[in-house]
A and B are shown apart, each in its own frame.
Chain A
């Protein structure tokens, strides 16, 4: 499945308001055939079957999935019951995103 198809499927699932991070397309290629797992996982998120980690300072909830050993992760945010964002990236991007969301104070490494 290419990036456009995956985005199309995710829009069908979560609604047209969903936004993707800028590197989403390139990471779809990197995760390769794991994207079908991704769609299944998103479906389970929609059905409320996936556990989330609540954050005190965020108006909404976040779901995090580790993909593969190099820790590429996805974060989906819900604001007022609506799915807003899907992010796909490597561990560095995940760290940066957590900092933006106030879930991480400083990068432990640098």
Chain B
């Protein structure tokens, strides 16, 4: 909810009650601002009709909110021009901070989810609830918006074990092949989320990712190994990891014997054995 608008309403309550807001509504806003407790009925009232009115007033103010620093001024101007055409929207991504960018990510908070490209524009329609998802909080932490973005506590869900292993494997392969290595970014994001409990903003994530990409191949692999090891040990039980990895390592050993391009397989085996040993020690 737009706190600035809420404060303005409280300051001008004599002019607003009862024409735009009722006395009861202003009282609820006032108690919300001073963090006083609200009963369930009042909370429902606040987040339904009151919030809608405030959002409508907020859209009339034509103000822009800047979350993050170091944006390219010319891009910020363009972003504001674009945002003037869409209510409840924000622009994030490399367009704001990087000389080179692929597309302009425009997030629109609406009732339906959809995404499509139109020229350079990438439209991503999300719901209000989606703003609690780490994947959307990340761009919202570094963006220009035409509404006040209030980020709630992120809903952190454990990643699927196989998906994490696959991301790690692809990251190692991409490092060895000198590809775009975007999987490193996924692991980095997951690491901060799961282990440190933080949602990394898109700018910080990109900055850290570029720093890692400058490291040598061996250092990059060691870095990815360290993060993956901490993730595996930090989010799953030792017993589960040990039981899941044991047959997989046996299979990888067989594969490594039979398959010529096995440099990556040997790296996986090294890490998974290390994780297995750690699990065994912890259980003993």
Residue in B102, B165, B173, B261 whose CB lies within 8 Å of A56: B165
CB < 8 Å neighbour of B169 from A48, A49, A54: A54
CA of A50 to CA of B260 in the docked complex: distance in angstroms?
9
CA distance A110 to B114 in the complex (A): 9
B261 contacts A54, CB within 8 Å?
Answer: no
CA distance A3 to B206 in the complex (A): 37
Say yes or no: B251 contacts A55, CB within 8 Å: no
- In chain A, what residue has the closest Cβ to B176? A51
The proximity string for A residues 20-63 relative to B, scoring 1 for CB distances below 8 Å and 0 otherwise, is 00000000000000000000000000001111111111000100
B170 CB to closest chain A CB (Å) equals 5
Q: Is B160 touching A54 in the complex (CB atoms < 8 A)?
A: no
Query: A66-B180, A69-B102 known; A109 and B115 CB under 8 Å?
Result: yes
CB of A102 closer than 8 Å to a CB of B: yes
- Using A66-B179, A110-B113 as known contacts, say yes or no to A51 and B162 having CB atoms under 8 A apart: no
Chain A residues with Cβ under 8 A from B260's Cβ? Answer: 48-49
A104 located at the interface, meaning its Cβ lies under 8 Å from any Cβ of chain B in the complex: yes
Q: Give 1 or 0 for each of B238-262: 1 = CB within 8 Å of chain A CB.
A: 0000001001100110010001111
Assess whether A64 is interfacial by the CB under 8 Å rule. Answer: yes
Q: Which residues of A contact B176 (CB under 8 A)?
A: 51
Complex: A66 Cα to B183 Cα, angstroms: 12
For chain B, give the interface size range.
20 to 34
Give Cα A106 to B162, complex, Å: 12
The B interface is mostly helix, strand or loop, or mixed, namely: helix
A76 to chain B, nearest CB (A): 14
List, in ascending order, chain B residues with CB within 8 A of A48's CB: 259-261
The answer to whether B162 and A64 have CB atoms under 8 Å apart is no
Q: Taking A54-B252, A64-B170 as contacts, is the C-beta distance between A108 and B135 under 8 angstroms?
A: yes
Nearest-neighbor residue (CB-CB) of A44 within chain B: B261
CB of A106, distance to nearest CB on chain B (Å): 8
Q: How far is the CB of A9 from chain B (nearest CB, A)?
A: 22
Q: Does the CB pair B163–A51 fall under 8 Å?
A: no
Bound Cα distance from A105 to B190, whole angstroms: 15
**Which residues does chain A contribute within 8 Å of B102, judged by CB atoms?**
69-70
| Contact, CB under 8 Å: A53 / B170 | yes
A56 x B162 contact (CB < 8 A):
yes
Interface of chain A residues 5 through 28 with chain B (CB within 8 A): none
Contact of B244 among A49, A53, A56, A109 (CB under 8 A): A56
B10 to chain A, nearest CB (A): 38
Report how far A52 CA is from B102 CA in the complex, Å. Answer: 28
Are B255's CB and A54's CB within 8 A? yes
Residues of B within 8 A of A110 (CB): 113, 115
Judge whether A103 and B255 touch: CB under 8 Å.
no
Residues of B within 8 A of A70 (CB): 102
Nearest 6 pairs of A and B residues by beta carbon: A105-B160, A53-B169, A48-B260, A51-B264, A51-B261, A51-B173
Known: A48-B260, A56-B251, A110-B115. 4 other contacts (CB 8 A): A55-B162, A55-B165, A69-B102, A110-B113
Q: Which residues of A line the B interface, CB within 8 A?
A: 48-57, 61, 64, 66, 69-70, 98, 102-106, 108-110
24 contacts between A and B (CB under 8 A): A49-B260, A51-B176, A51-B177, A53-B170, A53-B173, A53-B264, A54-B169, A54-B248, A54-B252, A55-B162, A55-B165, A56-B162, A56-B244, A56-B251, A64-B170, A66-B180, A70-B102, A102-B162, A103-B162, A104-B166, A105-B160, A105-B162, A106-B160, A108-B135
